[in-house]
Amino acid sequence: MQNISQYAGIIVLILLFVLMYFMMIRPQKKQQQKHQDTLKNLRKGDHVVTIGRLHGIVDQINNEKRTVTLDCDGLYLVFDLNAIASASRPGEEKASENDSKEKEVSKKNEPEKATDSKQTSNSDDNAK
């Protein structure tokens, strides 16, 4: 019994470190890896958002200097690659927009069907 109480403090510290690893360090590493993959797959013509929330289109990438030139409505700006917060391809944005528009249309049509069925049931009741 005395041996367990001697090691209880050490066991609690080890459990706290394990918990901290799985709750904080591991997710942060995954997020960093995802950001690095995004930067590696960056191409000319991609739509990007910088960490300062400036939106632009990639015009040129210099891997030696680790810089990217963005076209922001005719204004060409040079940024460090690490300043890119997110990137997307033009075709991917349109596909996701079309999917969301289709969902909105289907949601709008569903309530109309319900009201149509109520109206027909009311007209049937009136006919009786």
Distance CA 61, CA 41 (A): 11
Q: Which residue has the higher pLDDT, 32 or 112?
A: 32
* pTM confidence score: 0.57
For residue 4, what are the domain limits? Answer: 1-40
pLDDT at 103: 55
- The whole-chain average pLDDT of the chain stands at 80
Q: Are residues 27 and 74 in the same domain?
A: no
Q: How many CB atoms are located within 10 Å of the residue 70 CB? A: 23
Going by C-beta distance under 8 Å and a sequence separation of 6 or more, which residues neighbour residue 104? none
Is pLDDT above 80 for 20?
yes
Answer yes or no: is 26 within a domain.
yes
Is the same domain home to 109 and 54?
yes
- Does residue 67 sit in the same domain as residue 30? no
**For residue 25, what are its two tokens?**
């360090």
SS (H, E, C) 67-101: EEEEEECCEEEEEEHHHEEEEECHHHHHHHHHHHH
Confidence of residue 66 (pLDDT cuts 50, 70, 90): very high
The larger pLDDT score, comparing residue 80 to residue 103, is at: 80
pLDDT of residue 4: 75
